[in-house]
Each structure stands twice: as C-alpha cells, then as structure tokens.
Amino acid sequence: MNTGADVSAPGGDGTFETVLVVDFGAQYAQLIARRVREAGIYSEIVSPSITAEEIAERAPGGLIFSGGPASVHVEGAPRIDTAVYDLEIPILGICYGAQLIAQQNGGTVGRTDKGEYGRTTLTIAETDHGPSAGCLLDGLPLEQSVWMSHFDAIVDPPTGVPATASTAEAPVAAFEHPERGLYGVQFHPEVVHTPHGQHVIEQFLHVGCGLAGNWNMSSIIDSAVDLIRAQVGTGNVMCGLSGGVDSAVAAALVHRAIGDQLTCVFVDTGLMRLDEGSQVIETFGRHMGIRLISVDAGVRFFAALEGITEPETKRKAIGELFIRVFEDAKSDLDDVGFLVQGTLYPDVIESGNEHAATIKSHHNVGGLPDDIDFALVEPLRSLFKDEVRKLGTELGLPDEIVLRQPFPGPGLGVRIIGEVTPDKVSTLQHADAIVREELRLAGLEREIWQSFAVLPDIRSVGVMGDERTYGYPLIIRAVTSEDAMTADWARIPYDVLEAMSSRVINEVPGINRVAYDITSKPPGTIEWE
C-alpha cells in the first residue's frame, strides 16, 4: 500500500473536530463515517487495534464503535483497549459496539432465542417520572421503527447505566450515561431504514460530545489550501488530468492554493473513451485556466501491455508507465518535485491495509512503483466521492466536469479482458460510446453511477444475414451506487437495452452478441478487472 504523503489532505491534522469510528468489521463503518460528516463533523475510520494512548494523541471529540459480525462471546472477537473508557471521550456503541461497551463495563450480553433482523419497533423506557428518552432519543416519538441486525442482545447495560429503550427481543435496545460519556444502541441509526437514525447520531455528536460542526466545503478548502502551501512551499507541482472528477477537483484545489506553480499534464494513454482526449484538453483549457501539457503516449502504453493478461499485472504496468511518462514530462519542466494525485478515501481503504484484503490495486494508490521520483500531494485523500463533487462545485467547476461518471485510472485497459490491443480498444470505444449515448437519450445518465461496456476475451457463434459469424460478445455494465463501495445493477428498461444491443451489433464490427451484467457489488466489483 502506498504510504505517500497525506500531509495535504484536510482532516486528521487537528484543524477539525474529529470523531473516530472504530471499525469492528461491519460493512456499516463507512456509512457511519459518512453520517458523521453529513452532520458537519470530520470522521475517520480506525482499527480496533488502536490503543487508548493513540486515541488520546488524536484527541477526538467522540468515538463511535461500529457493529460487526462477531459475537462478544467468541474468543478472538475484536475488542478495544479498555483504557479508552478512562479518556473522558464520549463513546457511542452501535450493535456489536454497544454489546462490547456493555461487556467491558460490567453489563451482560446474552443470546436471544431468535435474533432480530430488519424493521422493529423501538419503545422508549418509562420511569416513575415519565418517559426517559435520554439524550440520544430526545424529541422522538415513544415508539418508532428502527433497523436491527443482531443475534446476541444486551441483557444488562453497563453497571450504573440506565436503559432508555427496548424492543420485543432486545430488553436493552439503548442505554446512556451522559456524565460518564457512555452511549449504546442495539439498532443501526446509520441506515436509511431507521427513519430517525440521523437524529440519534446528531444528538450524540452535538449534545453528547458538544461538537458544533465545522466540517463544511468552505472550511475544507481553506484547510486544504493551507496544507498544500505548507507542503510544497515555493516548489513546482505537476498534476495528471485524467478527465475524471477526482483529478480535476484535485487540480482546481491545488491551483487555488499555489496558482502558477502548478502545471497539469494530460497523458493520452490510448485507453481513454472515444474522443475523450480532445474533450479533456478543450474542457480544461476553457474552464480552468491552468497551464496544460498534453502527451500522446498510446504507443508506449500498448507496447507495455503487450502479452499481459493478468489483471493486477496489467494495473501495475499501466500505473508504472503513467509515472514514467510523468517523469519524462517533468524533465521538460523546471524543477518539479511534487505530483498531485486525486486519491480518495475509499481508494485508500480499498487498496488494503492490515485489516482489509486487497481487492484491486488502484493505479493511483497501490499500483505506484516504489522508486517514485516525486513527493505526492493528495488533497482528496480523506474525502468520499460525493464530498469531492461538492468541493468541485464550491471551487467553481462546471457540472460537465463535476457530475461526470467515474472513470478508472487504467481506463479501458481494465475493461478489456485479456491482452489489450489497439484493435480491441477501438472496438470497445465505439461500443462503449453507443451504450452511453443510448442511456443519455433515455435520460438515465444522471441516476446511474457508472455505465460502460466491457470486452471479454471469448468469442461465440452467431448468424447475420445468411452468414455465420464468430465474434466477441459485449458486456454492458451499469450500476447505481452512492460511493462505489457497494453498488447495485441498474434496472435499465428493456427497450433501452434492446436499442443498445441492436446498435452495437449493427454498428460495431467484430461484435455479434450483447449481454447485461446483473451482478451487484459485493459480490462483483464495478469494473471487471
């Protein structure tokens, strides 16, 4: 995993109130982090192996323990350094996180006869003095719908901590002791199926932790600008523009910070979509007023990819050549010591760390060669995609850039299965352009996260006119997603699929069959390689 500088990324540098989300292995940890940010507070995901001392050093305003698949009763289940409870930092436990707080603080977690999954009614506890909603549930109806997903259940809350709500299967569905800063909920406030969930999270953040919320687009820009200036000083900086949102926003941000010290380089890898190279040059020249050099490197990329079929080898080869092309471009410029990369938070998480498996080496993170000759400036490294889009708008970038669908750094190289050749790229470019055009004509482009075509390395028999054909199939891939971490296949109407299919087969020589990929992520990934 790349350990390049993240010194220019806003957040995590002490400028912002921070909440650390301890990830106990849930698919929910990122969702929790996003919900916290939606409440205007910077959040970061950390591993349960973090020590109380390390947490104290970060001085977060609050901690959230996520849910997770383990049972607290199982040996080897992830736990947290119990000294965190002495730090006087408010803690909210969610599902497994709440059970762990109970278990580590004198409560009991039992097995219910049956677990609780899906929507359940949560009832606020009654006391002699009336309902006791506490801080988290303050202002909410006495009965509300919440989303549950648990087998174990808290039977006794932590010693001295009152329960504030229950459900049919969970006698302690919420507990809290504001003076001790201990809060727990058995349900999942971060999912949309818990209608008042964001309220619960915000009560914890604003009332429980006393955080005001200073994480917003203009403060992020101010902070990033300061950090970029501090990192690069009077040095010269290069930025690779891919045509995608991330590099465009990163470039605009760096340009805001250091103006003419920045030169952008557009490398035409030959693996771009149809006419994309000329569009990028035109759009960025017109809108951004940034010095832009364009390098036509298609021949070099095809040579480097010759004979390579293994996806990771391909990604690494493309990533490495990218850097080499930059280094060559650099030698034509004055003394450039820094390279801007539009790396995002999900890229950092997905490229693998000690707790997460490497799924793919994203070429702007894991695919970088070790002997890289630049210091990296990665101002978006702490941001999710939707935050980057908002940042782009705040920086004045037009919708045609900011609302673009994501496009992977290795381009069509990871959408051609098997060896990448100029002929296959040309075939795919034309088919891909038809797929995207038909979606645009159907008015579906904006509601779809990504839509594209994939060219696999197999051929099948068909018949056209009276002739036998033996050609490639084209796979259409279109997904809806919020952040690319999970995705669902888009329910494209049949008539749109039919238009794509007949146009592709009639207009693109070499393709005689079209298939639609109906795999969500997980278990699939969005790209095929």
Q: Which stretch binds ligand XMP (CB under 6 A): 32-40, 78-86, 161-169, 405-413?
A: 405-413
Binding-site member from 164, 231, 263, 364 for ligand XMP (CB under 6 A): 364
How far CA 372 is from CA of 227, 342, 350, 360, in Å, comes to: 22, 16, 21, 20
Nearest to 293 by CA among 333, 346, 259, 250: 333
Cβ distance to ligand XMP smaller for residue 109 or 414: 414
CB-based contacts of 25, cutoff 8 Å, min separation 6 = 66, 68, 69, 70, 78
CB of 236 to ligand XMP, least distance (A): 24
Task: Give yes or no for residue 526 binding ligand XMP (CB under 6 A).
Answer: yes
Closest to 165 in 3D by CA, of 192, 183, 181: 183
Nearer to ligand XMP, 72 or 339 (CB): 339
Q: Give least dist CB 368 to ligand XMP, A.
A: 11
At 515, phi and psi to the nearest 5?
Answer: -125, 155
Distance of alpha carbon 60 from alpha carbon 14, whole angstroms: 9
From 193-201, 322-330, 403-411, 463-471, give the range in contact with ligand XMP by CB under 6 A.
403-411
Angle between helical axes of 494-507 and 422-441 (0-180°, round to 10):
150
Tell which one of 360, 415, 477, 513 touches ligand XMP (CB under 6 A): 360
Coil vs helix vs strand at 309? coil
Q: Which of 104, 132, 469, 525 binds ligand XMP (CB under 6 A)?
A: 525
Cβ proximity to ligand XMP, 60 vs 366, nearer residue: 366
Q: In this complex, which beta carbon is closest to ligand XMP, that of residue 280 or of residue 526?
A: 526
Residues 6+ apart with CB under 8 A from 95: 26, 28, 66, 67, 68, 149, 150, 185, 186, 187, 188
Q: How far is the CB of 163 from ligand XMP (least distance, A)?
A: 41
Q: 385-394 vs 217-232: helix axis angle to the nearest 10?
A: 90
CA 513 vs. chain centroid, Å, equals 33
Nearest CA among 139, 186, 190, 181 for reference residue 165: 186
* Phi, psi (deg, nearest 5) at residue 247: -70, -30
Task: Give the residue among 39, 72, 447, 8 at the shortest CA–CA distance from 230.
Answer: 8
Tell me which residues in 446-475 interact with ligand XMP (CB under 6 A): 450
Is 362 a binding residue for ligand XMP by CB under 6 A? The answer is yes
Applying CB under 6 A, the span of 23-31, 78-86, 102-110, 406-414 interacting with ligand XMP comes to 406-414
Give the type of residue at 138: D
Q: How far apart are CA 367 and CA 297, in angstroms?
A: 19
Binding status of residue 410 toward ligand XMP by CB under 6 A: yes
Based on the shown chain and the rule CB under 6 A, indicate whether residue 420 belongs to the binding site for ligand XMP. no
Q: Minimal distance in Å, beta carbon 4 to ligand XMP?
A: 15
Backbone phi, psi, residue 263, to 5°: -125, 130
**521 lies in the binding site for ligand XMP (CB under 6 A):** yes
Closest separation in Å from C-beta 408 to ligand XMP: 3
72 in Cβ contact with 155 (< 8 Å):
no
Are 26 and 95 in contact by the 8 Å Cβ rule? The answer is: yes
For 249, the token pair is 């926003």
We find the least distance from the C-beta atom of residue 417 to ligand XMP, in angstroms, to be 13
Kindly identify the residues of this chain, within the stretch 273-312, that bind ligand XMP according to CB under 6 A: none
291 residue type, one letter: R
Binding ligand XMP (rule: CB under 6 A), the pick from 208, 409, 411, 473 is 409
Instruction: Confirm or reject binding of residue 330 to ligand XMP (CB under 6 A).
Output: no
Q: How far apart are CA 431 and CA 476, in angstroms?
A: 9
Q: Which is nearer to ligand XMP, 99 or 450 (CB)?
A: 450
Give the total of residues touching ligand XMP (CB under 6 A). Answer: 15
Residues identified as active-site? 95, 188, 190
Contact flag: residue 484 with ligand XMP (CB under 6 A): yes
**Residue whose entry in the numeric block shows the structure tokens 């429980």:** 208
- The distance of closest approach from Cβ of residue 443 to ligand XMP in the complex, given in angstroms and rounded to an integer, is 22
Piece of the chain touching ligand XMP by CB under 6 A; list 73-81, 83-91, 194-202, 359-367: 359-367
- Hey, what are 216's tokens? 């917003």
Task: Using the rule CB under 6 A, give the single segment among 92-100, 156-164, 201-209, 357-365 that binds ligand XMP.
Answer: 357-365
Please give the structure tokens belonging to residue 153.
Answer: 């259940």
> What token pair was written down for 318?
């493309």
Q: Among 363, 415, 424, 477, which residue interacts with ligand XMP (rule: CB under 6 A)?
A: 363
Tokens of 20: 């650390």
Q: Which stretch binds ligand XMP (CB under 6 A): 3-11, 360-368, 393-401, 428-436?
A: 360-368
Residues that bind ligand XMP (CB under 6 A): 359-360, 362-364, 406, 408-410, 450, 484, 521, 525-527
